[in-house]
Amino acid sequence: MSSDPILPIMTATSPLVSLGMSVLNCERTIVVSIQSLLNQTFKDWELIIIDDGSQDGTLGAARVFRDPRIRVIDGRENMGLSTRLNQAVQLSRGRYFARIDGDDIAYPERLAKQVAFLDLHPAVDLLATSVCVFRDDGFLLGLRRVPLSHNAICAHPWSGFPMAHPTWMGKLTWFRANPYRTDAVRMEDKELLFRTYANSNFAGLDEVLLGYRESSMSLSKILLARRNFVRILWQASGKHCSFLIALRGMAGQAVRAIVDASALTSGLRYRLLRHRARPTSDQERTRWLEVWQQTATLVPQPTA
């Protein structure tokens, strides 16, 4: 595919689901991520890939695929995840907008099950699913589960919202009405949920429908995200939340930062950060292995 300007495509028909994928230096992983979408049982989708100034072969890897549903855009320069996702939202033509990252793997039934839920529950604005966490070699580290109801998801807004960002699917109109903040670096999703939860309706599917790649954990990036969330809480006090809630959230982020630093510097990682990868059942491990093998072995190779 050739480089496209960032302009909408006008066609006679529109897909039901638009997927937005912002990528940065994902040459090693993006082909498998795209293949997982081609494996979907639900076929009425479009994929908008926006390269955010990659310095490796990400663009070439994305262009291996010749599926007309896939559009690859050369963003040319690094502008950040929020900016690129807002662009993807504006380019989308579907009823629903969905997220996936360039290093994750969607289970074949992901889109079908999320679409079925949203069709059945038109009052829901945003839907997430549970995820499994895996390493680069496919080894399953554990699960992250999502609560089912809006009230359960938003039970402790000052601490964040257990909705894995790459699993999101929701109304395109909701995303357009609530754009990502470009200054919410490393916590774009948390800021958006915190800003909108009082006037939105969130839901979760307690079913693993996405593999979340976590090859490493950067302490500096984790601490940056926590610092930025503290800043957002402070700015929101009196506007989106009370001062007491903001203060409670800031104190909680400080405690979590200490735990993060202890876990990553001691090498204990998942033993201390158990929320990042909870135990899996035999059935869940077996299903993940099936998805991994099915996806990783079907990827196309670049042509000469």
Tens-digit pLDDT profile for residues 156-168:
887 789 999 999 9
Residue type, 123: A
**Entry pTM:** 0.82
CATH 3.40.50.720 fits 17-214+277-296, yes or no: no
**Would residue 190 be called left, alpha or beta, if left means φ above 0 and alpha means ψ between -120 and 50 degrees?**
alpha
Answer yes or no: is pLDDT of 95 > 50: yes
How many CB atoms lie under 10 A from the CB of residue 165? 21
Backbone phi, then psi, for 76, in 5-degree steps? 70, -40
Mean pLDDT, the chain, whole residue set? 84
How many H helices and E strands in the chain? 10, 9
Answer yes or no: is pLDDT of 81 > 90: yes
CB 130 within 8 A of CB 144: yes
SS3 202: strand
Answer yes or no: is pLDDT of 271 > 80: no
Helix boundaries (H) for the chain: 30-38, 58-62, 81-91, 110-120, 150-153, 172-177, 188-196, 219-236, 243-266, 282-296
List Cβ neighbours of 200 (8 Å cut-off, separation of 6 or more).
125, 126, 150, 174, 178
Confidence of residue 274 (pLDDT cuts 50, 70, 90): very low
CB 20 within 8 A of CB 85: yes
Residue-level pLDDT at 164: 95
Percent of the chain with pLDDT over 90: 63
CB 17 within 8 A of CB 87: no
CB 51 within 8 A of CB 74: yes
Residue-level pLDDT at 184: 83
Between 296 and 197, the more confident residue is: 197
Q: DSSP for 87-100, please give it.
A: HHHHH--SSEEEE-
Confidence of residue 296 (pLDDT cuts 50, 70, 90): confident
pLDDT in tens, 102-127: 999 999 999 999 999 999 999 999 99
Residue type, 9: I
Q: What is the b/e burial string over 192-229, where b = at least 16 CB atoms within 10 angstroms of the residue's CB?
A: bbbbbbeebbbbbbeebbbbbbbeeeeeeebbebbbbb
Between 155 and 260, the more confident residue is: 155
What does the block give as tokens for 303?
Answer: 């042509």
Confidence of residue 186 (pLDDT cuts 50, 70, 90): confident
Could you state, in order of their start, the residue ranges of all structural domains in the chain? 17-214+277-296, 218-276
Residue-level pLDDT at 273: 41
Q: What is the mean pLDDT of residues 261-285?
A: 65
Residue-level pLDDT at 2: 36
Residue-level pLDDT at 277: 72
Answer yes or no: is pLDDT of 266 > 90: no
Residue-level pLDDT at 218: 56
CB 101 within 8 A of CB 166: yes
Strand partners, 98: 19, 169
Between 250 and 296, the more confident residue is: 296
Answer yes or no: is pLDDT of 302 > 80: no
d(CA 92, CA 97): 7
CB 246 within 8 A of CB 237: yes
